[in-house]
């Protein structure tokens, strides 16, 4: 048995983190939500009124920022400079500027370095946009999850309602489509399926079915 790396990429709200968490648990691997790292930086930049277009200010800020991903009872907890910001990084204010913050080369270089350090020993399930292409190009398992914008917005809407968050389906659909566009069209490490990734369209699949497909390949390669 070896400790492999599993890279899960895909557009916004495709179910990456849900699936990644279950797989990590099944294999007793660590789970790294790289989107949460970009969100944490975006949240701190907002607090300090740093312009999301200002690459030099953002990299200066990031160099003086610690971001930790720690296991909690109900999933992963995100700590920013020692403070729990798990809920704060999910607001629509953060969501709507995270793609601008994460388009910058210097920011990505620093984040990728940190993510590679987390994944160094293997035994990791990492989700994001550039994991199979840049962060873990040697990952034994690479998956690209897809679903229609309508389906992704409907899932996020149901999740929001369940959590008691305000939610508007049409608006969610527009925000998701806009984030996909920014993430796919940026110059540095855009959202893209790695040539050797397995593509799974989850539009008409249950979470269990997606997990099963990925586990089948993972077990072959362990
Ligand atoms: O995964 P999540 O939707 O939380 O990611 C938030 C944002 O962080 C993405 O829309 C993208 O702009 C950025 N991101 C990225 N590279 C990653 C993970 C996330 O650019 N590996």
Report whether 28 belongs to an annotated binding site: no
Give 94-111 pLDDT, tens digit per residue: 999 999 999 999 999 999
SS3 195: coil
Query: Which pLDDT value is given to residue 162?
Result: 92
Q: Which atom of ligand 1 is nearest to the CA of 183?
A: 12
By CB atoms closer than 10 A (0-12, 13-18, 19+), residue 139 is buried
- Mutating to test ligand 1, I would choose from 21, 38, 130 the residue with most ligand atoms within 8 A of its C-beta, which is 38
- Cα(153)–Cα(165) distance, integer angstroms: 14
What is the pTM for the complete model shown? 0.97
Please identify, in words, the CATH class of the domain defined by 5-211. alpha beta
Report whether 11 belongs to an annotated binding site: yes
- Cα(119)–Cα(32) distance, integer angstroms: 8
- Cα(31)–Cα(15) distance, integer angstroms: 14
Q: Which atom of ligand 1 is nearest to the CA of 13?
A: 3
- Cα(219)–Cα(195) distance, integer angstroms: 21
- Cα(150)–Cα(177) distance, integer angstroms: 10
Rounded to the nearest angstrom, the gap between the alpha carbon of residue 88 and the centroid of all alpha carbons in its chain is 16
- Taking each helix axis from N to C terminus, what angle separates 149-163 and 169-185, rounded to the nearest 10 degrees? 120
Query: Which pLDDT value is given to residue 1?
Result: 81
Report whether 121 belongs to an annotated binding site: no
Q: If you average pLDDT over every residue of the chain, what do you get?
A: 96
The residues lining ligand 1, judged by C-beta closer than 6 Å to any ligand atom, are: 12, 34-35, 38-39, 98-99, 102, 128-131, 179, 183
Q: CA torsion sign, 163 to 159 to 123 to 130? A: negative
- Cα(146)–Cα(142) distance, integer angstroms: 13
């Amino acid at each position: 048995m070896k400790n492999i790396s599993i890279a899960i990429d895909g557009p916004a709200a495709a179910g990456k983190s849900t699936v990644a968490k279950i797989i990590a648990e099944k294999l007793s691997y660590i789970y790294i939500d790289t989107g949460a790292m970009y969100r944490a930086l975006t949240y701190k930049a907002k607090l300090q009124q740093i312009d999301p277009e200002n690459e030099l200010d953002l990299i200066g800020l990031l160099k003086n920022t610690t971001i930790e991903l720690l296991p909690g009872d109900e999933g992963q907890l995100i700590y920013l400079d020692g403070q729990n910001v798990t809920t704060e990084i999910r607001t629509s204010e953060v969501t709507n500027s995270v793609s601008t913050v994460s388009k910058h080369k210097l920011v990505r270089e620093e984040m990728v370095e940190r993510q590679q350090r987390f994944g160094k020993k293997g035994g990791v399930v990492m989700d994001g946009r550039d994991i199979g292409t840049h962060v873990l190009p040697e990952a034994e398992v690479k998956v690209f999850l897809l679903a229609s914008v309508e389906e992704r917005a409907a899932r996020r809407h149901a999740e929001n309602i369940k959590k008691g968050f305000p939610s508007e389906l049409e608006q969610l659909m527009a925000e998701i489509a806009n984030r996909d566009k920014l993430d796919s069209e940026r110059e540095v490490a855009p959202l893209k399926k790695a040539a050797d990734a397995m593509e799974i369209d989850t539009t008409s699949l249950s979470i269990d079915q997606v997990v099963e497909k990925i586990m089948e390949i993972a077990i072959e390669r362990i």
